[in-house]
Amino acid sequence: MKQFKSIPYVLCLSFAVLTALQAQAQSSTAGETGPYQVARTFHVGGEGGWDYLTVDAENKLLYVPRSTHTMVLDARTGKTVADIPGQKRNHGVALVPSAGRGFITDGADASVTVFDLKSYAVLGKVKTAEDADGVIYDPASGKVLVVCGDAGVMVPISPDLDPATGKADAAVELGGKPEFLAADGKGKAYINLVDKNQVAVVDTRAMKVLNKWPTAPGGSPVGMAMDVKGRRLFVGCRRPPKLIVMDADSGKVLADLPIGAGVDATKFGGDAFASCGDGTLTVVRETAPGEFKVLQTVKTPRGARTMGIDPAAHTLYLPTAELEPPAPGQSRPRPKAGTFMIVVVSRTGE
């Protein structure tokens, strides 16, 4: 994902907003009434854009990339705990507590910044490939997995490598432009190929592509989350705007549900969620085995298109800012200086 530009945000809205609004209007179960509500907003401020937000649920921390630096916030108050410098255009953060390290992707630098989880000190950088973007830790392989959009590869990194001398493992060619990924913890990773309308299935022990599954009737897949126990993938698509529910063993599409325009992330925590730049958070629930419905559409501020989740607390954290209307010739809205915020959505009851 690019910060505010993976696929031009305003173009996505203009292409998809009418379809999304019509689809949501037709869903009798979607609406503001429901168990999830905006509980509070942390007004953080500071400079820089934003992309993926990572939640450290155990330590109640939020890791928030801000273009050239990564903020660490207290998840209970929104107060700044630390600020990790030295990036050029960052995107995501993966945490590996067993190694005591965190890893920040830097698309402009084609690298990953390695930092200490206790002191937040930068330990060094590891070269990856062009447009280092989505990142997760895969316990089955014991590797940090980095997808690099423009390079079309996934790069594995040993979390305990020496950042001064160590190198990433050989890149896995994906045959398309990856956006985000999820792992099942048993040796498979699932990666959106946004330009191919496919999900690539990778064996993370052998580090090879096993299969590619179409996301139709969804296209331009960007968000990826997984119900590991239920073996479901939740793929957020932009063209048309849909949440695709896919069987993680066969690739069969089990459901396609309407969502808002400009989706950038999906998450799972009992229910599935799709956060969209048009200011909607779609909540999807499995009501019977293999049957899914839109439970609720939560209104959020415009631009809140990514999120992190604390599944045990049933709480989501969505970064955004107040947005200026795009000037002539601009492809996306410009955030107002100093207005960056974290919107907190919680489950309040059934």
Q: Give the DSSP letter string of 127-171.
A: E--TTEEEEEEETTTTEEEEEETTTTEEEEE-TTS-TTT--PPPP
Which pLDDT value is given to residue 329? 77
pLDDT of amino acid 325? 84
Rounded mean pLDDT of the chain?
92
pLDDT band at 207 (very low <50, low <70, confident <90, very high): very high
Question: Which pLDDT belongs to residue 32?
Answer: 62
Task: Report CA 324 to chain centroid distance, whole Å.
Answer: 24
pLDDT of residue 259 exceeding 80: yes
5 or 3, which is more confident? 3
Question: What are the pLDDT digits (tens) for 266-311?
Answer: 999 999 999 999 999 999 999 999 999 999 999 999 999 999 999 9
Confidence of residue 12 (pLDDT cuts 50, 70, 90): very low
122 pLDDT more than 60 = yes
Q: How far is CA 165 from CA 161, 169, 209, 220, in A?
A: 8, 13, 28, 38
The label of the residue with tokens 């992309």 reads 51
Residue 58 banded pLDDT, cuts 50, 70, 90 = very high
29 has which bridge partners? none
Count of C-beta atoms within a 10 Å radius of residue 20: 25
pLDDT category, 216, cuts 50, 70, 90?
very high
- Per-residue confidence (pLDDT) for residue 1, from 0 to 100: 57
